[in-house]
Structure 1
């Protein structure tokens, strides 16, 4: 793991020792140079277009980057870049190990080829990026990602989880259990211990959210299924009405029942559309808190790794190096505040989602009562076997709806569990982050 900071133009301001070791450059060769000094020609232009779009809008950027070392060799990183609030940018990178990297390598090759084709046709770099971007969006949709940001969030979670599994198998840790070194003071020992405790809380939150991803998928699937059933109800109600008219006066009552069914089916359709909107917003809120917590966890890891680096005395342990620790801790505090906002949005949407589900249940009950009445009335009409078959089919559709609503209940139950205990944990992490931020500032000023 390593990090660096740049100014708003992308010029390197500072970086830790691992950055210089991996890149092969001395610190004096990097500081004051544009960050693209390590840019590899295999990187598609569109990746940097997305990067700057996000950062200029005040959003974080996450993605796979192929870098070139001083000796011409290359190395892959998963980079998470966030604005620091004063025009500077903080970039934390770690080695990607998940199978997603192989997919991205091939994708980048195709995007680079698309850009090269436009340039070979005397097209402008802007036109090359536009073609590359259109291809990127098409390929991501084919993989099930409606946006690059969603892909990046999923990839970040996948990389962190895959790395955790690898470390556990090999019995290794990212950082030591306690600091050791000649320059370790009691103040630094206390800071490191507190940072470890906060990291443990963030890791627990990360794993809770990661486990919820499966239930979140079930929530989306259940919502889609209920929406499909609603349209079937309207079609069936229309067919019943047409068939009832063929039975003349005897079919009039059944026709009235069909009209009620059509009205309830419309209400069900309206309710499922509203449900879909709440599920979409819940999805966005869940993705947001997932990303914020994953980035916060990565930033706290970097805080701990850098503290251990300073304790080992790698490089000059001057005050300006402690200022780099301030940047890392500030970034972590910012992410925990963002996570708190995201969980508040998730709580609000989960409440609205539960309300939509209750409304659907009431409409489904009304449809069931109308179906029973229709079956009773059609039984009084001689030769109306077709009507009775239709109402029997209605019952099957009702049972299917209730099954889907039950599946929705299961997903909502898990969502409720998540939103019940997560806010308190986020609040605890936030309070601890502010306390550590103050301690880091005092240590840096001492």
Structure 2
């Protein structure tokens, strides 16, 4: 009889969990929660928001593996990426679907980082349209894992491939976009003023990408300059004794074009770190700025809250939280400072290019005046001048767009 009752209770619990499977364990957008584990992923500390949402008693959570809240809808690929990144000593962020004790689910956007002796994860409620996109992506990856028997590592490779097909360079690019999107959605929902440091970092990153694209375009266009100079010299040869002026103009054109090429090369050198790394340092700065702001809020909530901890536990966890906040804050400050230094260099180079471009325009005017003076004898130069005019206009348009974009740098510097 006792055995039958136990079986009935077990069946009732199982049915209750099944009924709850599609129900959400609700928490508010202003709530943040954290948990800290050792190097093996065993939970050592957490706040009351975490225990409430997970529906586990404090004693049951402490000492339990963090996978106690893992949801079956989560692909192994995500956890492989998380552990691979953490073991390399780097923080990582991402969407995670968790499972409460009752079987209910709850989505979080997690910021996870190595700390002394383990790892610390801070979670917020995701509310942007990105969540629906990621949920569908996870379903696809999970299906492939089950149908094709993919290992976690191979599944992670498929996940990264899918992320690239969505238009992201890599996971760094994806998580920067996702975290900024969720962070800003949360700030807007809470009625907070825009986070200027993050706004400026985004503007600088966008401006740098555009400038790098324009540098490539101008470089290709300037390569035609050697052909124009050769053609000018060939036309000068045909002029015989009247060649001196055209020779002089072609030489001046060559010198000024060389100055522009040198200026573009120096500008390219300034931008090289950004472009060759797919702007990963800019994306990392955005992640760090968001993480620093989130951690500051976690620290404040912890200090003002009434967590069920002993004085010793509170002091210990406060140190972990403050240290992680300091790490994010210091790294983000250093990253933004480096961006501002680069901005100043770019602005200086832009001014120099503007002046050099005026000199090139003067040479073009001289060429046109001399061509008109020579009349019929310089007939072959007309079409060349037209080609040069069109080429210079393309360069001018690209440079003007770069000059305009540089104003974003100036604004960011002023705001900082």
TM-score interval w.r.t. the shorter chain? 0.7 to 0.9
Which secondary structure state, in structure 2, belongs to the residue aligned with residue 96 of structure 1? coil
Is 2:187 the counterpart of 1:164? yes
Partner of 2:46: 15
Question: What pairs with 1:204-215 in structure 2 (closer than 5 Å)?
Answer: 206-211=195-200, 213-214=202-203
Partner of 2:20: none
CA distance in 1, matches of 2:409, 2:235: 49
Tell me by how many angstroms 1:28 deviates: 1.6
Partner of 1:104: 134
Partner of 1:351: 344
Equivalent pair of 1:243/1:387 in contact (CA under 8 Å): yes
CA distance in 1, matches of 2:219, 2:253: 11
Q: TM-score, normalised by structure 2?
A: 0.78
Partner of 2:145: 115
Partner of 1:147: 170
Question: What pairs with 1:301-312 in structure 2 (closer than 5 Å)?
Answer: 301-310=297-306
Which secondary structure state, in structure 1, belongs to the residue aligned with residue 224 of structure 2? helix
CA distance in 2, matches of 1:378, 1:237: 20
Is 2:156 the counterpart of 1:129? no
Tell me by how many angstroms 1:216 deviates: 3.8
Q: TM-score, normalised by structure 1?
A: 0.74
Question: What pairs with 1:170-189 in structure 2 (closer than 5 Å)?
Answer: none
- CA gap 1:139/1:259 in 2 versus in 1, 3 angstroms: farther
Equivalent pair of 1:223/1:272 in contact (CA under 8 Å): no
Tell me by how many angstroms 1:296 deviates: 0.9
Partner of 2:65: 34
Superposed CA RMSD in Å reads 3.1
CA distance in 2, matches of 1:417, 1:243: 43
Which secondary structure state, in structure 1, belongs to the residue aligned with residue 223 of structure 2? helix
CA distance in 2, matches of 1:62, 1:2: 15
CA distance in 1, matches of 2:68, 2:232: 75
Tell me by how many angstroms 1:270 deviates: 5.6
CA distance in 1, matches of 2:40, 2:414: 43
CA distance in 2, matches of 1:51, 1:262: 54
Tell me by how many angstroms 1:34 deviates: 1.6
Partner of 1:278: 270
Which secondary structure state, in structure 1, belongs to the residue aligned with residue 190 of structure 2? helix
**Residue 241 of structure 1, aligned match among 230, 244, 258:** 230
CA distance in 2, matches of 1:82, 1:413: 35
How many residues get paired? 377
Equivalent pair of 1:245/1:255 in contact (CA under 8 Å): no
Tell me by how many angstroms 1:285 deviates: 4.5
Judge which range, 261-270 or 146-155, deviates more: 261-270
Which secondary structure state, in structure 2, belongs to the residue aligned with residue 231 of structure 1? helix
Equivalent pair of 1:38/1:67 in contact (CA under 8 Å): yes
Consecutive unaligned residues in structure 2, runs of 5 or more: 1-31
Is 2:210 the counterpart of 1:217? no
Is 2:59 the counterpart of 1:63? no
- 1:381-407 deviation line (CA, Å, top 9, x unaligned): 526555324323423433443343333
- 1:42-88 deviation line (CA, Å, top 9, x unaligned): 2222322322232223221111111122222221100001222x222
Structure showing greater Rg = 2
Equivalent pair of 1:11/1:33 in contact (CA under 8 Å): yes
CA distance in 1, matches of 2:259, 2:169: 29
Consecutive unaligned residues in structure 1, runs of 5 or more: 174-202, 423-446
